[in-house]
A and B are shown apart, each in its own frame.
Chain A
Amino acid sequence: MEDHPLLSVSLHKVLPGGFVLDLSWQCHSEIVVLFGPSGAGKSMTFRLLSGLVTPDSGEILLGGKTLYSHARRINLTPQQRQVGYLFQHYALFPHMTAAQNILYAHPTPRTAAAQAQLQVLLGQFQLESVAWAYPGALSGGQRQRVALARALMRKPAWLLLDEPLSAVDLTVRRSIRTELKQLQRRLSIPMILITHDLGEAFSMADRLIIYDQGRVVQCGLPEEILANPASPIISEWAGHALPTHQPVFSF
């Protein structure tokens, strides 16, 4: 199984400002954390993976299915990629209630099957009491759970979570981390998430991918990366000496 990654990504994209994104990584049904400084290309990776932005070249394979291949001229639309995508600020529809937001994602929202699935998700994410509230009246944590429930409504084959904890109170972060981990174990699909918090990255990741300036600096198990950091930011965090010959500032 280890020889055949479930998700294989190899992408090249030059953005209008001249920023070059050139990356390649693979993963299985696990929690993958993309970590790196702002502007490293993590969110753009999600846009490319989900089909919202078309790469210049490369390939995206998911479970033997080609989502994008420049060489074979395949480019599935976002609708066809069966992705559960959580935007950074959740992008809930402000004119729909929590329940309507979740139902919206069902292919046939008016059926009894959709209603039944809605009830399951509302229960699972403890949203029964706010089902008829509009997003403007929900807390950060509730909005995040509505967005997650909406993403799961269409039974995604993989999940992309863009900074899922950034708009959530510090006190509930820990419980949400646990919930996300349990969710991934239950669904057994690739869950790729972006974070700026290195502590969060190490505590969540089955596989950690370090980004810098549009490239993958290092990819591996968190303990491997901690033992042999290839970037200054990780080595500093881990208390190692800087691996590169960078000037040491003194004050």
Chain B
Amino acid sequence: MEPLLDALRLSLLVSLCATGLMCVVGLALAWVLAMRQFPGKALLDALISIPLVLPPTVVGYYLVLLLGRNGWIGAPLYRWTGWSVVFTWQGAVVAAFVVALPLMVRVSRAAIEAVDQDLVQISATLGKSEWQTTWQVTLPLARRGILAAILLSFARALGEFGATLMLAGNIPGQTSTLPLSIYSAFQSGNDDLAQQMALLLTLVSVVVMLLSNRWTGQRWKPF
């Protein structure tokens, strides 16, 4: 049970951190894409969405180019701090974040766009700033869709494999998340462990899908 619990603990840590990041960055991006018109909007939308269609290993490859010790961001970071994100659990967080971000942005953007614009406009005529309207009208009314987005992207982060392997590697106890541990166990002939982990991930995915379908399928109700 020890390897399974280790992998589960690490997977939860990585996925929760990535989801936390997505709640801030992803929601902000979703709001900007839903509510604002600006030059380059289509390009930004496309850039965020690319991990949806690109193989995760390719995403991981680009992340290494960007964040590796010789990367565009990684090199100056290493010079200043002596630390690199490659082969660390934080690297796994970055990989999970980038791969799951498009789900977070797309689903929560759709939820924000579905809020009746009359309500946003009447709020302006009632003297409320855009910030007040966002917090008191838009987000509360879009909350079911946003919750579904958080759940879906959490599940995606939990299942991340390719980009994580490229950027964080597969170090037992340090970067071996559940999907990576399943691969290792299967490769080394430990079928029982692989099966237990696979069942655990399947169970989590089913629960997440049921919850997110339930939340996206219903209109807002007071209770």
Q: Interface of A with B (CB < 8 Å)?
A: 50-52, 77-79, 81, 83-85, 87, 89, 91, 93-95, 104-105, 107, 134, 136, 150-151, 153-154
Contacts and interface: CB of A to CB of B under 8 A. Distances in A.
Nearest to A86: B122
A93 B137 contact: yes
Given A78-B124, A134-B222, A154-B126, A91 B118 contact: yes
Interface string B183-219: 0000000000000000000000000000000000000
Given A93-B137, A95-B220, A95-B222, A85 B127 contact: no
Decide if the interface of chain B is mainly helix, strand, loop or mixed. Answer: helix
Contact of A79 (B119, B128, B222): B128
5 contacts: A51-B124, A77-B124, A78-B125, A85-B125, A95-B140
A84 B122 CA distance: 9
Contacts of A81: 125
Interface residues of B, number: 18
Contacts of A95: 140-141, 220, 222
B88 to A, nearest CB: 42
Given A91-B122, A93-B137, A134-B222, A79 B127 contact: yes
- Complex A-B, nearest 8 residue pairs according to Cβ-Cβ distance, in ascending order: A78-B124, A91-B122, A91-B118, A105-B126, A85-B125, A78-B125, A79-B127, A134-B222
Nearest to B128: A79
Given A94-B220, A134-B222, A154 B127 contact: yes
B119 A91 contact: yes
A50 B118 CA distance: 13
A52 B140 contact: no
B36 to A, nearest CB: 16
A52 B116 CA distance: 15
A93 B121 CA distance: 12
B124 A104 contact: no
Contacts of B129: 79
B130 to A, nearest CB: 9
Contacts of B222: 95, 134, 136
B127 A105 contact: yes
B140 A83 contact: no
A52 B141 contact: no
Among B118, B119, B126, B137, residue most surrounded by chain A Cβ atoms (within 10 Å) = B126
Among A95, A105, A154, residue most surrounded by chain B Cβ atoms (within 10 Å) = A95
